[in-house]
Amino acid sequence: MVTSHTDAFVESARRVDAVVTPTTADEFAATLEDAVTEPAVGTPLPFEGASYDGTPVDGAPTGAALAEAATGVTAGAAAIADYGSVVLQETGAGEELLGLYPDRHVVVVAASDVVPDMPAAFEELGERFAEGPRDAILATGPSATADMGAVVKGVHGPRDVHVLLLEDR
């Protein structure tokens, strides 16, 4: 379901050099396969109809598989339209490692989890934190630093970010 929030998220994410691809549960496996660079590892996906079946993603990676991975796939708890940011809520499945260590990060976010702005994100996170894990990362585009002069991507996180915006209604 595309709303003005999802349209705004797509535009904001593209401004920060993230790729956004809308998809459906029926198209998910093919869309994911196009988004990953192998070898790829992933955390569990809590979305109905979206799984790693038929894709090159290892959904139960070992430390060795993570060390070799070119792509990490995680579920996003929310997306913030104003900033093009995604929220990765730590569940204990390794979201932080898979979102930061490989050169490419593919984030799957439900379209219904796109919120308009930071106050709405904090409200949503507050409700989620009251129910469970209280750690989250707000990630905006590829990692970039200019500590030594010119902007360099991928020093402190992924060089590429690809968001799969999953229609869920």
* CATH number where 154 lies: 3.40.50.10420
Flag whether pLDDT at 133 surpasses 80: no
Q: Provide the pLDDT for residue 2.
A: 47
Q: Provide the pLDDT for residue 5.
A: 92
Flag whether pLDDT at 1 surpasses 60: no
Q: Where are any strands of DSSP class E within 16-159?
A: 19-23, 40-42, 57-58, 71-75, 78-80, 85-89, 104-110, 114-115, 136-139, 144-145, 152-153
Average pLDDT over residues 138-166: 81
Q: Provide the pLDDT for residue 169.
A: 55
Q: How many domains does the chain have?
A: 1
Q: Which domain holds residue 150?
A: 4-166
Contact predicate 15/163, CB 8 Å: no
Flag whether pLDDT at 98 surpasses 90: no
Flag whether pLDDT at 131 surpasses 60: yes
Q: Provide the pLDDT for residue 141.
A: 85
Does the pTM of the predicted model rise above 0.85? yes
Q: What is the tens place of the pLDDT at every residue in 16-74?
A: 999 999 999 999 999 999 999 999 999 999 999 999 999 999 999 999 999 999 999 99
Q: Provide the pLDDT for residue 35.
A: 98
